[in-house]
Structure 1
Amino acid sequence: MRKHILRLVLIFVVIAAVALFFLSRPDRAELSVAAVSGVRPEITAPRKEIIPTVSVADAVGWPDGATPRAAEGLKVNAFARGLDHPRWMTLLDNGDVLVAETNSPPREVKGIADWVMGKLMGKAGAGVPSANRITLLRDADGDGTAEARSVLIDNLASPFGMAVTGGYLYIGNHNALVRVPFTPGQTRITATPEKVIDLPGGGNHWTRNVIANADGSRLYVTVGSASNIAENGLEAETNRAAILEVDPVAKTFRIFAAGLRNPNGLAWEPRSGRLWTTVNERDMIGSDTPPDYLTAVDFGAHYGWPWYYWGGYPDARVEPANPALQEYSKRPDYALGPHTASLGLAFADDIRLGGRFASGAFIGQHGSWNRVPVSGYKVVYVPFAANGFPPEGAKPVDVLTGFLNDEGEAMGRPVGVIGDRTGAMLVADDVGNVIWRVSAR
């Protein structure tokens, strides 16, 4: 009898081990990143992952003398080194560059998933405490390297986006939009930040980008979701997965567009004057789907999250369902590949590299943590046609690569992209703690 029980236990253990092996095997991509990019990407059937695919590049930093690789006809140099997790930048009218040295606010660990995510982010170089400051960089002699820097303002709360308008510097903290009086040329702000509006703080997506319209009468603020697919309930997603439109005088806001899981980059397309954004899509339905994307943002539009992706593909995991939304779920304009973590966004009116980069959008792809093989870890260019949209058949063009070494480790990870006062491209690298400058030869 005892031998029979031991045999049954052994059989159960073997079966459980085999099941765990197959359930925990990473989902491998069956399509190329290019196939899941463009105006009409390939959208495959979802492949449910019981245990998330995990394949994040270890953060190792840059060896002495190493740099990323610029596309043919371009060159790259370090604009500033020795920063503390630089993620986002803005250019001032006098040519100074502001950079947010920042990281996630402290995360509340509610379970094994939060614990695992914390470990993953640490492995990827995102586990360091936030410096919580904005630093000013100045290249007064115009040689392409910032020879002066100063802490413009500190003691912030995971700051990210910045906008200067109406005599104020607006800052997107993770939990509030704040402002301080500011005039370009200043190198230090001592004023206490004034709150404009509260924002939903923390969550899986804490970055809050900020952009002003032409006359400064309205500000637009990105607020990512608190979760993957609203698994903690829709109440936890109030005023999230959205772009907010803020009246800075009345200190009020409304939802400008919704259903955007994690919008980050914001920029005005120069021909049409329309607002565009980059968005990171959901996880755990395979290495091939859905694509992150670049899209024009229409007032009142809903882009599907959490119920739908890419203009109406249903996510059966989401409860309760929302069938009435399917036909109204707006399809994005351009796919950027699966799990690329596309963040930075700037148009060619600000970044003037000429030639084949004369009319389009530059996008910083931070890189995947949940795809095999990895995707992103580079800066790409998306060409635009005269109508202010990417043309059919256009694929992303590599502009700055080489962030991964031969062992697949991350020497750097690109985030924000802007143009400097000469039209060269600046790229914030939050793993290498560098801002790279890309210019024409």
Structure 2
Amino acid sequence: MIRITGLAALALLLASGAFAQQAGQPLLTGKKAFGDWKADRPGVRRLIKPDDLPKPNAAESASNGGGVTDRPEDAKPILPPGFSAELVASGIDSPRVVRVAPNGDLFVADSRANQIRVYRLAEGSAKPAEKSVFAKGLTRPYGIAFYPPGDKPQWVYVANSNSIVRFAYRDGDLEASGRPETIVSDIPSSHHWTRDIAFSPDGRTLYLSVGSGSNTAEDMGARPKGGVEEWARSEPLGATWGAEEGRADVLAFDPDGKNRRMVATGLRNCSGMTVQPATGALWCVVNERDELGDNVPFEYATTVKDGAFYGWPWYYIGDNEDPSHKGARPDLAGKVTVPDVLIQAHSAPLNITFYEGGNFPADYKGDAFVTLHGSWNRNVRTGYKVVRLRFKDGKPTGEYEDFATGFVIADDAVWGRPVGVAVAKDGALIVTEDGNGTIWRVTYGDGRS
């Protein structure tokens, strides 16, 4: 990590804090929605549509991924008026996905340390009353799910980069009582390694996201054995082959890991999944491809429709053809599903959760929170924040607004990279970030639901 002076950091944080008090931000649309970290503040609203896509390679791509610095003293996420953030834990190697057990315990994937941590918070507080390592010796664990869904799960499922395992679980366990049982093996693990998992509301289906093995399928090979036409007749719509076979997909299994099937294809890197409580629909947040310019293509959050193809690697955001695959798959034109909510390019969305808690104001119910890990392939940084996706009657409006900002403190200095997001049992929002390895509890008012 690099260091910056405390006074400079404090000045930037105070300036950002002043922005946070401004309310009633106008809705930014079209090119005005393509901002960077300097324009970010709670309440800024954006609506991006497919027609807003610039042409690819209109701006030269950049490599701008460094600059993680020590968290300045007293630095916190900047939030809308009435909200506050308290530190739950710090100094964690790589806190990524966070999921909440039915009893309220926070299960956190510490991916680089190859373990799952558990935090039991004191009532109405961010202070852990107990903490433990639930399981260790894993392989870059990421997704976590409790099975069966409901109040009395018997298993904790964990998605490694190369497998899904499960641990026997009883309500309140702080440590696994036995060795892991492998449920799904032989998952390709190179390049994009974040594997998320979720169960359908009825518990009959286990979903698994598997990201691509490359940026734009450079190693896939020009043609599958037997030719493209034969492949297209025998495989799901938009399925890839060669080194990318079984990747850039959402798969489904029975809870015991059997009956593998394809749900959707063309999702370059679905790093986060959740089920929408109001509808039972599966949602993904997706990192799209790089090196096509500052604002191409858009990232997105979307429902995952059975049998749908979302474009990668041949197309993006509908029928926009990737220049590196020009003319390769004309048979797929007109068959690409357009995502539900478009997010600024290179924001790197990693996780999503729907808010059904009782602590936040009533108009937050039914909306979703998405963590944006932040750009590396953009001239001026974007992302590095938590945003709120707006819904009406269970359907996305397409609009999103900044909720938690302040993680970037200079063009070359970032202290926080949001990853995990979950709603605690008491209605607080839990956010992890892996720049400085911290976990935060966000509440409204006095923090009581």
Shorter-chain TM-score tier = 0.7 to 0.9
Aligned to 2:419: 415
Higher mean C-alpha deviation, range 215-224 or range 355-364: 355-364
- Counterpart residue identity of residue 415, structure 1: V
CA distance in 2, matches of 1:383, 1:364: 14
User: Which residue number in structure 2 is paired with residue 400 of structure 1?
Assistant: 404
Q: Aligned equivalents of 1:339 and 1:329: distance in 2?
A: 21
- 1:383 matched residue in structure 2: 390
- SS of the equivalent of 1:70 reads coil
Matched ranges for 1:254-403 at <5 A: 254-318=261-325, 321-350=328-357, 352-386=359-393, 388-391=394-397, 395-403=399-407
| Alpha-carbon contact 1:352-1:358 (below 8 Å) kept | no
On the 8 A contact 2:368/2:388 being kept in 1, the answer is: yes
Q: 2:93 aligns with which of 65, 68, 84?
A: 84
Q: Are residues 1:214 and 2:201 paired?
A: yes
- In 1: Cα distance, 2:243 partner to 2:180 partner: 27
- Taking the aligned partners of 1:171 and 1:84, their CA distance within structure 2 comes to 18
Change (3 A) 1:407 1:323: closer
Counterparts of 1:290 and 1:424 in 2: how far apart (Å)? 33
Equivalence for 2:129: 147
Cα offset, 1:263, TM superposition? 0.3
Q: Which residue of 1 aligns with 2:173?
A: 186
Determine whether 1:33 maps to 2:57. Answer: no
Q: Any gaps of 5 or more consecutive residues in structure 1? A: 1-29, 103-129
Show structure 2 runs of 5+ residues with no match: 1-30, 36-44, 149-153, 221-240
Contact preservation (8 Å) 1:352, 1:423: yes
Question: Which letter does structure 1 place at the counterpart of 2:80?
Answer: A
**How far has the Cα of 1:84 moved from its partner?**
1.6
Match in the other structure for 2:442: 438
- Tell me the alpha carbon deviations over residues 186-208 of structure 1, each in whole angstroms, 9 at most, x when there is no partner: 11114221111124333221000
Residue in structure 2 matching 1:134, options 101, 116, 126: 116
User: Which residue identity does 1:62 align to in structure 2?
Assistant: R
CA contact (8 A) 1:79 1:144 kept: yes
1:175 aligned onto 2:162 = yes
Closer, same or farther: CA 41–426 of 1 in aligned 2, 3 Å: farther
Aligned length: 382
Q: Secondary structure in 2 aligned to 1:317?
A: helix
Query: Separation in 2 of the partners of 1:282 and 1:36?
Result: 21
2:227 is matched with which residue?
Answer: none
Q: How does the TM-score come out when normalised to structure 2?
A: 0.81
Once residues 175 and 232 of structure 1 are traced to their aligned partners in structure 2, the CA distance between those partners, rounded to angstroms, is 20
In structure 2, the CA distance between the partners of 1:205 and 1:263, relative to structure 1 (3 Å rule), is same
Letter paired with 1:424 = A
Root-mean-square deviation (Å): 2.1
Offset at residue 351 of structure 1 (A): 7.7
- For residues 270 and 352 of structure 1, do their structure 2 counterparts lie closer, same or farther at Cα, with a shift above 3 Å needed? farther
Q: Which residue of 1 aligns with 2:40?
A: none
SS of the residue corresponding to residue 396 of structure 2 reads: coil
Q: Deviations over 1:359-396 (max 9, x none)?
A: 3110000000011211100000011011x2222xx532
Q: Are 1:88 and 1:160, in contact at CA under 8 Å, matched by a contact in 2? A: yes
Conserved in 2, the CA contact under 8 Å of 1:177 and 1:199? no
Q: Find the aligned partners of 2:327 and 2:139 in 1 and give their Cα distance.
A: 34
Residue 164 in 1 paired to residue 165 in 2?
no
Q: Which runs of 4+ in 1 moved over 3 A?
A: 34-41
Instruction: Note the C-alpha offset of 1:416.
Output: 1.1
Q: Aligned partners of 2:100 and 2:66: how far apart in 1? A: 30
In 1, Cα distance between equivalents of 2:259 and 2:100: 26
Q: Are residues 276 and 177 of structure 1, via their aligned partners in 2, closer, same or farther at CA, if it must alter by over 3 Å?
A: same
> Greater CA radius of gyration, 1 or 2?
1
Instruction: State the one-letter code of the partner of 1:138.
Output: R
The 5-angstrom pairing of residues 234-249 of structure 1 reads 234-249=241-256
Residue in structure 1 matched with residue 53 of structure 2 by the alignment = 43
Question: What is the rounded CA distance, in whole Å, between the counterparts of 1:215 and 1:36 in structure 2?
Answer: 35
Distance 1:244 1:64 in 2: 43
* Structure 1 position 37, deviation (Å): 4.5
2:71 alignment partner, SS class: coil
- Displacement of 1:31: 6.0
The whole-number CA distance in structure 1 between the counterparts of 2:167 and 2:354 is 27
Whole-Å separation in 1 of the counterparts to 2:357 and 2:249: 25
Mapped contact 1:353–1:423 kept (Cα < 8 A): yes
